[in-house]
Amino acid sequence: MTSKRLPFDQVEYDRRLLMTRMAMALAGLDALFVSDPANMQWLTGYDAWTFSHHQGVIVLQDADPMWWGRQQDTQGAMHTVWMPEGCVIGHESDLVNSMERHPIEDLARHISGLGVQNLGIEMDSQHFSAKGFSILLQVLPDVGFADATGMVNLQRAIKSAPEIAFMRKAAAISDKIMEGVMKHADVGMAKNQLVALAYHDAMQGVDGAWGDYPAMPPMLPSGSDTVARLLTWSGSPLVAGEDMTFSFSGCYRRYHAPLCRTIFLGEVSDEKRRAEAALIESLDAGIAAATAGSKVSDVAKALAGPLGHGDDNGNGFGGLIGVAYPPRMEDEVISLNTNSEAVLEPNMTFHVCPTLSVSGANVGIGQSIRISEDGVAEVFGGVSPKFATK
């Protein structure tokens, strides 16, 4: 069975599986249980809204991966994964939301039947519970367990050419969304109405790229609320004289390329024009420093300099992007921090987002980029970083 819904050909999935198996071998693992939905999709193609339930992919060294989850979700698996039907395993429905038994008991039974000796688990995944791990320890006393958090994420960090093509499509959708917000935002307009227009553009997509649901909703703080960057929206109207930051991402086949821009509903003060200049200088400096072979910390320090933060600022300026599912868009395995020793490699992709606090409000600019094989990083999309005014 090969799903007609697969976004990539088999060669791409074989490449990913080989990389993952090499990482497993270096860690001394003969099996890996993957519960992060982005990692599951990246390895197998699995793509369904089922990640609020216990599910995962078992990766072995010498056999096809196995998808495991609720029996009622097996059809979704068979419609989206590249493996044969025999590699799709569903547990009984009476395990769902049971207070007497647990789905991980069924997973443990399958792992036991595979003769696994050393099993890696994404222990810090939001989709794998402490109770689930305690059950594995009880049912599989002879199996050695290791924390494999980030193992697959690190393999995902460097994108293939087909993945980069998907991200460019996501960026085109992001541009369309932002251009629409800049066009329609106006004094008195309810925030939810503006977000509705943004979602329309996000789902409609662009020519050659339909829109998928993004991993995070739009962030739309305005006025003094901008100090809290992760506020979504309300039904309140946009107010004359206030600025707002709008951040969102287009999504194509689960790939993201987020954008953040600041929009002013009225005149921009000289102080905020100076902030605009500093943010653009910061963004330009960060992108110029984002060259293959450089450290992530070099990029963060370049971003911090024009903002007056200095080299001791450890706050994140962004992180890895690519495949994502709710509730997280950026992959925290590599963040743009001044203390990071990670080295940039070609075709890593990041969201870079410097911000400044001015007169009790925050202004910011966020941009998605790709690390090039040589020279300056590629900037996804073409919306001007300058503050928009209405």
Q: What percent of the chain has pLDDT over 90?
A: 88
What is the reported pLDDT for 309?
61
Asked which of 129, 156, 183 is the last residue of a domain, the reply is 156
Q: Where are the beta strands (DSSP E) in the chain?
A: 31-34, 56-60, 66-70, 88-91, 118-121, 144-147, 243-252, 255-264, 318-320, 331-335, 349-352, 355-358, 361-364, 367-370, 378-379, 388-389
Closest CA to 242 of 229, 226, 261: 226
Q: Amino acid letter at 372?
A: S
378 plus 265 within the same structural domain = yes
What is the reported pLDDT for 310?
45
pLDDT above 70: residue 159: yes
**Mean per-residue pLDDT for 256-277?**
94
DSSP tag of 334: E
- The answer as to whether 229 is a domain residue is yes
Tens of pLDDT, residue by residue over 77-87, are 999 999 999 99
**Mean per-residue pLDDT for 261-289?**
95
Number of domains in the chain: 2
- The answer as to whether 4 is a domain residue is no
pTM of this structure:
0.95
Asked which of 156, 181, 204 is the last residue of a domain, the reply is 156
Closest CA to 33 of 53, 59, 13: 59
193 plus 118 within the same structural domain = no
Asked which of 114, 140, 156 is the last residue of a domain, the reply is 156
pLDDT above 50: residue 314: no
Tens of pLDDT, residue by residue over 211-248, are 999 999 999 999 989 988 889 999 999 999 999 999 99
Tens of pLDDT, residue by residue over 12-69, are 999 999 999 999 999 999 999 999 999 999 999 999 999 999 999 999 999 999 999 9
Dist. CA 173–CA 204, nearest whole Å: 9
- The answer as to whether 5 is a domain residue is no
Q: How confident is the model at residue 98 (pLDDT cuts 50, 70, 90)?
A: low
What is the reported pLDDT for 311?
40
128 plus 172 within the same structural domain = no
**Mean per-residue pLDDT for 319-323?**
97
pLDDT above 80: residue 100: no
- The answer as to whether 221 is a domain residue is yes
Mutual angle of helices 270-289 and 296-304, in 10-degree steps: 160
256 plus 376 within the same structural domain = yes
pLDDT above 90: residue 375: no
Sheet with 349-352: strands ordered across = 331-335, 318-320, 349-352, 367-370, 378-379
Task: Enumerate the H helices of 79-190 as residue ranges.
Answer: 103-113, 130-139, 151-156, 161-184
Q: How confident is the model at residue 93 (pLDDT cuts 50, 70, 90)?
A: confident
The whole domain housing 265 covers 161-389
77 plus 189 within the same structural domain = no
Give me the CATH number covering residue 246.
Answer: 3.90.230.10
Lowest-confidence pick of 46-60, 92-106, 164-178, 294-308: 92-106
Instruction: Retrieve residue 5's tokens.
Output: 């819904």
Q: What percent of the chain has pLDDT over 70?
A: 97
What is the reported pLDDT for 2?
64
- The answer as to whether 3 is a domain residue is no
What is the reported pLDDT for 312?
40
For residues 246 and 263, the answer to whether their CB atoms sit within 8 Å is yes
Q: What is the mean pLDDT of the chain?
A: 94
- The answer as to whether 264 is a domain residue is yes
97 plus 223 within the same structural domain = no
What is the reported pLDDT for 147?
98
- The answer as to whether 175 is a domain residue is yes
171 plus 128 within the same structural domain = no
196 plus 144 within the same structural domain = no
Give me the CATH number covering residue 48.
Answer: 3.40.350.10
101 plus 220 within the same structural domain = no
145 plus 130 within the same structural domain = yes
Instruction: Retrieve residue 358's tokens.
Output: 């001015």
pLDDT above 50: residue 286: yes
For the chain, helix (H) and strand (E) counts, in that order, are 10, 16
148 plus 183 within the same structural domain = no
118 plus 236 within the same structural domain = no
